[in-house]
């Protein structure tokens, strides 16, 4: 795995561009010098902010001895959903790797999501990663992604 300088995106390499809500699986049908990224698959999930997902205020606990009460921390539903989505992405990549659908993988995601993905990836996927780019590119159109990845 390499981080830092942009990896060389060879012909037929698979590029995963993901964040906590969307994952684009792109295939380079061009050359490293002239990228031609084609969308092979898109995974999406709704993941609103935690404040929009929680139904109630955090609970309170009462101590069994005395009258002390303490607030419970609210679950970070947004983060939990991001972790689950990372797991779904990892499973999809595992199926592709197991079916020999790619030899080289480049992963592009914000740093926090990249960390979740690293933890979720199976060994078969990890062995095929030739580069990682800590960036958020899911909201960009494909021509912009090609330009940013080639630069």
Mean pLDDT value across residues 3-28:
89
pLDDT digits (tens, 9 = 90+) for 73-123: 556 665 667 778 899 999 999 999 999 999 999 999 999 999 999 999 999
DSSP letter assigned to residue 59: -
In the chain, domain spans: 14-45+76-150
Which has the closest alpha carbon to 80: 88, 68, 70?
88
What is this structure's pTM? 0.77
Cα(117)–Cα(89) distance, rounded to whole angstroms? 8
Cα(40)–Cα(53) distance, rounded to whole angstroms? 31
CATH class of 14-45+76-150: alpha beta
């Amino acid at each position: 795995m390499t981080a830092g300088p942009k990896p060389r995106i060879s012909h037929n390499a698979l590029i995963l561009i993901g964040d906590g809500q969307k994952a684009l699986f792109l295939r380079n049908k061009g050359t490293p010098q002239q990228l031609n990224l084609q969308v092979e698959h898109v995974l999406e999930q709704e993941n609103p902010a935690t404040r929009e997902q929680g139904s109630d205020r955090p609970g309170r606990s009462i101590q069994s001895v005395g009258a002390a009460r303490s607030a419970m921390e609210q679950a970070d539903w947004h983060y939990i959903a991001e972790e689950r989505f990372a797991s779904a992405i990892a499973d999809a990549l595992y199926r592709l790797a197991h079916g020999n659908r790619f030899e080289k993988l480049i992963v592009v995601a914000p740093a926090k999501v990249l960390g979740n993905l690293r933890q979720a990836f199976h060994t078969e996927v990890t062995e095929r990663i030739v580069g990682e780019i800590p960036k958020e590119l899911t909201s960009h159109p494909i021509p912009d992604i090609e330009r940013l990845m080639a630069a």
